[in-house]
Amino acid sequence: MSVILSVFERCGIPATEYAGGTLSVFSPIDGSEIARLHETALDDMPGIIARSQSAFKAWRKVPAPVRGELVRLWGEELRAAKADIGYIVSVEVGKIIEEGLGEVQEAIDICDLAVGQSRQLFGKTIVSERPGHRIMEQYHPLGPVAVITAFNFPAAVFAWNAAIALVCGDPVIFKPSEKSPLSGIATFRALERAIQRFGQAPEGLVQLVIGTMPHGDALVSSPDIPLVSATGSTRMGRAVGPKVAERFGRRILELGGNNAMVITPEADLDMALRAILFGAVGTAGQRCTTLRRVIVHEAVKDVLLEKVLRAYANLAIGNPLERGVLVGPLIDAGAFAMFEQAVAQAQDQGGTLLTGGTRANVEQFPGGYYVTPAIIDMPAQTDVVRHETFAPVLYILTYSEGIEQAVEIHNDVPQGLSSCIFSNNMREVEFFISESGSDCGMANVNIGPNGAEIGGAFGGEKETGGDRETGSDAWKYYMRRTTNTINYSSALPLAQGINFG
Ligand code: UN1
């Protein structure tokens, strides 16, 4: 693991930073400690927030396309550091290299999108009911944005928020997850290098906070941070949401998912199989978009299961840094305990364990929590199925009637992030994505629920939080809208025809 130290150095994380501190960071690959980071002093939080506020006063005046130039440079720095940051993601989160690199690519992609967006921060012009009047909307910078990320996407989710916030004119304070801060720091350092090359950013435009819950709390509770973007569990969202609401702040919450795939009698089962594999065992089941439920028609259930079980039997589980391995470790002992608990509960609740569900023996790394991905055939959508377990546990649910029944089962969970249908029947497909279909923020056709591109809006309904980030018009969350009514006549008529004396 000593190679990681030279990668840290190349990414701008020197020994003075990764050693000698109080926050231990472990690699899930073998459970070893890879860094001891220095935590941000809690006393420094007010100063950090104040610096962000003063940076805002300068940054909001920089023309948006010029702000876009900074993000363009960040994209260049990320391209140059892609292999290194991808490697850190793999070591720190346990993703296979391919997925570690994919995550950095996602950060690069959002930079590209944000650069274009920096020339497209537009409002509407609206006709007025009064002669000689015009109405228009403008989008102005909002203020400091706090970005609090989860362990599983430490580079991409920071970039999703920071790239858009920066072009929108907002400074950023970034608190990465204490479980995977190094990937976040490396991504942040690439941004600092871009800032240096850019040469005209105000001091405090982007700041990093290394710490735990109290640090997050300081950001969430501060009235000087108009927008908090937080990714994590529904439990975390329940704590963050009300605190931000209490001070009338804005929030972007990306919380739990319980993503399903409906497989109808007219599905291409080989395609479905491939999507199930990437969806359910990719990232060892630790994506918020991970496939957690398959809702399959009884007519194709046996054929599908046979294919899926055969593929699961050949899954390469082990060192995520080794080519050919598809399933790396869970993040830590806590995640493993949840996995074990879910597998046991599902069986208590009438499920039949078809494969997996145990700790995998990876001899090389006795300290890592590797598991055999579980598939559990459930007689009904019981409590455990309705709960998000952040691990590779796939529940099989069966339907026997039409697509309406499948959708009913599909929507009968508290979460609403991502969903998909496999079918070549346009009636089923259109129903699934219609107003009466999937109630999720994302509903895909003949592709899995995960691995979304950044161009669309990302997020979901119900306990997932209701907000959106990345592409489409998600940028509007990061700006404040003003409606301007302009009178260019020499009279002062009132709207609604009111005659006031
Ligand atoms: C997450 O797991 O928090 O759609 C984000 C996906 C990725 C992002 C996942 N683009 O799976």
Residue 464 CA to residue 449 CA, distance in Å, equals 14
How much is the pLDDT for 453? Answer: 98
The tens digit of pLDDT for each residue in 393-432 reads 999 999 999 999 999 999 999 999 999 999 999 999 999 9
How far is ligand 1, taken at its centre, from the CA of residue 283, in Å?
10
Does ligand 1 have an atom closer than 6 angstroms to the CB of 40?
A: no
Residues 6 or more apart whose Cβ sits within 8 Å of residue 347: 353, 376
Question: Quick one: which atom of ligand 1 is closest to the CA of 150?
Answer: 3
Does ligand 1 have an atom closer than 6 angstroms to the CB of 207?
A: no
Residues 6 or more apart whose Cβ sits within 8 Å of residue 281: 312, 315, 326, 327, 373, 392
Query: What's the whole-number mean pLDDT along residues 361-388?
Result: 97
- CATH superfamily placement of domain 259-445: Aldehyde Dehydrogenase; Chain A, domain 2 (3.40.309.10)
Of 157, 234, 287, 442, best ligand 1 pocket probe by most atoms within 8 Å of the beta carbon: 287
DSSP 178: T
Residues 6 or more apart whose Cβ sits within 8 Å of residue 74: 111, 159, 163, 190, 191, 194
How much is the pLDDT for 3? Answer: 87
How much is the pLDDT for 1? Answer: 60
Q: Which of 175, 178, 9, 196 is nearest to 88 (CA)?
A: 9
Question: Quick one: which atom of ligand 1 is closest to the CA of 454?
Answer: 10
H or E stretch covering 313: helix 298-313
Question: Quick one: which atom of ligand 1 is closest to the CA of 287?
Answer: 2
The tens digit of pLDDT for each residue in 194-235 reads 999 999 999 999 999 999 999 999 999 999 999 999 999 999
Identify the bridge partners of residue 125 per DSSP, sorted by sequence position. 136
Does ligand 1 have an atom closer than 6 angstroms to the CB of 418?
A: no
The residue whose C-alpha atom lies closest to atom 3 belonging to ligand 1 is 288
Query: What's the whole-number mean pLDDT along residues 242-267?
Result: 98
How far is ligand 1, taken at its centre, from the CA of residue 44, in Å?
32
Query: What's the whole-number mean pLDDT along residues 237-249?
Result: 97
The domains of the chain are located at 2-255+465-482, 259-445
CA–CA–CA angle 68, 70, 75 (5° rounding): 95
How much is the pLDDT for 47? Answer: 98
Task: Please say if the pLDDT value at position 2 is more than 90.
Answer: no
Does ligand 1 have an atom closer than 6 angstroms to the CB of 450?
A: yes
How much is the pLDDT for 81? Answer: 98
Residue 231 CA to residue 249 CA, distance in Å, equals 16
DSSP 420: E
Instruction: Please give the C-alpha separations between residue 23 and each of 211, 320, 495, in angstroms, as whole numbers.
Output: 8, 24, 60
Query: What's the whole-number mean pLDDT along residues 179-200?
Result: 98
How far is ligand 1, taken at its centre, from the CA of residue 366, in Å?
29
What does the block give as tokens for 342? 């879910």
Query: What's the whole-number mean pLDDT along residues 66-89?
Result: 98
Residues 444 and 419: beta-carbon distance below 8 Å: yes
Could you please state the CATH topology (level 3) that the domain comprising 2-255+465-482 is classified under: Aldehyde Dehydrogenase; Chain A, domain 1 (3.40.605)
C-alpha Rg value of the chain to the nearest Å: 24
In three-state secondary structure terms, 254 is: strand
Residue 19's CB is within 10 A of a number of other CB atoms, namely 13
Does ligand 1 have an atom closer than 6 angstroms to the CB of 153?
A: yes
How far is ligand 1, taken at its centre, from the CA of residue 159, in Å?
12
Identify the bridge partners of residue 481 per DSSP, sorted by sequence position. 139
Does ligand 1 have an atom closer than 6 angstroms to the CB of 451?
A: yes
Residue 115 CA to residue 76 CA, distance in Å, equals 12
How much is the pLDDT for 21? Answer: 97
Residues 26 and 34: beta-carbon distance below 8 Å: yes
Does ligand 1 have an atom closer than 6 angstroms to the CB of 253?
A: no
Question: Quick one: which atom of ligand 1 is closest to the CA of 289?
Answer: 11
What does the block give as tokens for 327? 């399933």
Question: Active-site positions?
Answer: 254, 288
How much is the pLDDT for 122? Answer: 97
What does the block give as tokens for 260? 């399903």
Rounded to the nearest integer, the mean pLDDT of the chain is: 98
**Full DSSP string of 97-135:** HHHHHHHHHHHHHHHHHHHHHTT-----EEE-SSTTEEE
Residue 74 CA to residue 57 CA, distance in Å, equals 22
Cα pseudo-dihedral 136, 137, 140, 145, rounded to 10: 180
* Topology match between the domains 2-255+465-482 and 259-445: no
Residue 336 CA to residue 359 CA, distance in Å, equals 8
Residues 262 and 406: beta-carbon distance below 8 Å: yes
Does ligand 1 have an atom closer than 6 angstroms to the CB of 289?
A: yes
Does ligand 1 have an atom closer than 6 angstroms to the CB of 452?
A: yes
H or E stretch covering 137: strand 133-141
What does the block give as tokens for 20? 């000698």
Residue 352 CA to residue 346 CA, distance in Å, equals 8
Report the share of the chain in percent with pLDDT over 70: 100
Residues 72 and 115: beta-carbon distance below 8 Å: yes
Of 234, 458, 464, best ligand 1 pocket probe by most atoms within 8 Å of the beta carbon: 458
- Residue 90 confidence class, pLDDT cut points 50, 70, 90: very high
Task: Please say if the pLDDT value at position 285 is more than 80.
Answer: yes
| Helix and strand numbers, DSSP H then E, in the chain | 15, 21
DSSP 477: G
DSSP 209: -
Of 101, 108, 289, best ligand 1 pocket probe by most atoms within 8 Å of the beta carbon: 289
How far is ligand 1, taken at its centre, from the CA of residue 95, in Å?
13
Question: Quick one: which atom of ligand 1 is closest to the CA of 257?
Answer: 2
Cα pseudo-dihedral 483, 486, 492, 495, rounded to 10: -30
Does ligand 1 have an atom closer than 6 angstroms to the CB of 231?
A: yes
Query: What's the whole-number mean pLDDT along residues 269-276?
Result: 98
Does ligand 1 have an atom closer than 6 angstroms to the CB of 290?
A: no
The residue whose C-alpha atom lies closest to atom 7 belonging to ligand 1 is 451
